[in-house]
Amino acid sequence: MKTFTKTLAIFTFFLFFVQFSQSQSAYRCTKFMNDTCGMVCADNGIIQTTMDGGASWQPIHTGYSQNLYCICETDLNTLLAVGQGGLIIKSIDGGATWSQKTSGVTTDLSSMDMYDMNNMLTCGDNGVVLATTDAGETWNILTSGTTEVLNQVIVTDLQNCYVVGTNSTILRSTDLGQTWLNETHKSHSRMSSVNYNSVAFYPGSSSGIIVGDNGTIMLSSDGGATWNASDANGVAVSFYHVRFSDANEADIVGQAQTILKTTDAGYTWTNVYLGAAVASNLYCLNFPTQLNGVAVGTDNTMLYTFDGGYTWTSTYGTHRNMRSSKTVASTSKLNQNYPNPFNPTTVISYVVGFDANVSVKVYDIVGREVATLVNSFQKSGSYSVSFNALNLSSGVYFYKFTAVNNNNRIDKTMRMILTK
């Protein structure tokens, strides 16, 4: 009976995995902790992680089926995500296991930002704003003074927090969200009422940008005291996310895979990418490095840039100098470690498809290298190496296999779980 139950559970998980892999999902939010380690959250409670700057992604199954709209990392192993129906979930082992926290609301939570590892804000439908002072363990409902849908919250510093939402809503707090000032009247939009979807300020600068529906772009040059409309260069689609890369450069993503770029703090914009009328929407973008960026959206869409956002492609590696051939890629292989989960030792096996300098390294959830298992020249063939995690704490780790010579390069990353 136990064997049958175990087999049924494995078969059920397999069906779920196949169904998810084949279905079209919406990627809602992407965050990077450094130039290689990042996350994306999606519909159906799915989170994916990358350890190679977005070249490959590994799924994390949270155990929840609600859509996740925003994700945040607070320290080495602590992750939080918010989403549909007031859902707040937290992991303290790098995503291996998740627990639900009491939000006190049933409305969707759309955005989350942090001041430090303990103090965070989240916002959502019906004017909901929540705050935590204990790294997401408990949440308090704050008075926002509005019932509008609040689409994004950002914390620029201790005295400047902003929220934007429907009907041109702009809220500002100078006490980390405890009280809010409604500054909607300071917005001089071309339309009397428009939905604002995203807001950004460059750190240490008074320059701010708000984007919204119908091609709306609002600029502030005085730290948010006033806002004035900017020309979107004739683009009239809805914009969903804006992000500064330096004091003058910023990027916007939106409806129908639209991507705009400015190099003068938002006064003029260039349409650098535009999908077809039926193309998927882009909800979020992030730059793990100054040049490399990722934009995500509906229908499992991921777009990449390798020149700071001037050109975008749907294929990772385009415009990069070193690309592997299909033959080499098919003969090189990185296998799942065994056993997995493990404590404290496991074996990692791999196949080198060509004579190359080979490295196998282990990283923690935020991309810090914790072990180098292989760093030598190897002939083509099959290899294995043992990894001892006796001195590491429980959690999710990643192992990365790299093989490179003068003509080819292969990078493969997989996820493993240490359980003590």
pLDDT one-digit tens code per residue, 33-50: 888 888 999 999 999 988
CB 81 within 8 A of CB 60: no
Last residue of a domain, one of 249, 273, 305: 305
Residue 121 contacts by C-beta under 8 Å, 6 or more apart in sequence? 112, 113, 114, 115, 129, 130, 131, 153, 155, 161, 176, 177
Please check the confidence at residue 262 and state whether its pLDDT lies above 90.
Answer: yes
Indicate if the pLDDT at residue 414 is higher than 90. no
Is residue 371 situated within a structural domain? Answer: yes
Question: Residues 37, 185: one domain?
Answer: yes
Whether residue 159 is found in the same domain as residue 255: yes
- Looking at residue 20, its pLDDT comes to 41
Tell me, yes or no, whether 268 and 404 share the same domain: no
Q: Is residue 16 part of a domain?
A: no
Q: Does 169 lie in the same domain as 47? A: yes
pLDDT of residue 5: 39
Q: Which pLDDT tens digit goes with each residue over 351-404?
A: 998 899 999 999 887 778 899 999 999 998 999 999 999 999 988 888 999 998
Same domain, 296 and 336: no
Position 15 in a domain: no
pLDDT at 189: 58
Domain match, 251 and 394 both: no
In a domain, 10, yes or no: no
Overall average pLDDT of the 81-108 stretch = 95
Cα-to-chain-centroid distance, residue 319? 23
Domain that residue 356 falls in: 326-418
Q: Using CA atoms, how far apart are residues 223 and 209, in angstroms rounded to an integer? A: 10
Q: Is the pTM of this model over 0.85?
A: no
Q: Which of 305, 335, 358 is the last residue of a domain?
A: 305
Does residue 3 lie in a domain region? no
Residues 160 and 231 placed together within one structural domain of the fold: yes
Shared domain for 165 and 214, answered yes or no, is: yes
* pLDDT at 87 (0 to 100): 98
Residue 241 counted as domain residue: yes
Q: What type of residue is 238?
A: S
Is the domain of 132 the same as that of 229?
A: yes
Residues 102 and 31 in one domain: yes
Q: Is residue 2 part of a domain?
A: no
| Whether residue 262 is found in the same domain as residue 396 | no
Separation CA 332–CA 120 (nearest Å): 43
In the chain, the number of structural domains is 2
Calpha distance 116→103 (Å, rounded)? 20
Q: 353 and 299, same structural domain?
A: no
Q: What is the CATH number of the domain that holds 282?
A: 2.130.10.10
Residue 91 pLDDT exceeds 90: yes
pLDDT digits (tens, 9 = 90+) for 304-345: 998 889 999 888 854 443 333 444 445 788 988 999 899 999
CA pair distance 55, 411, nearest whole angstrom: 8
- Return the closest-CA partner of residue 141 out of 155, 162, 158, 124: 124
Q: Tell me what the mean pLDDT of segment 400-415 comes to.
A: 85
What's the pLDDT score for residue 271? Answer: 92
> Does residue 107 fall inside a structural domain?
yes
For residue 119, the Cα-to-chain-centroid distance in whole angstroms is 20
Whose structure tokens read 């077809």? 276
The CATH number of the domain holding residue 340 is 2.60.40.1220
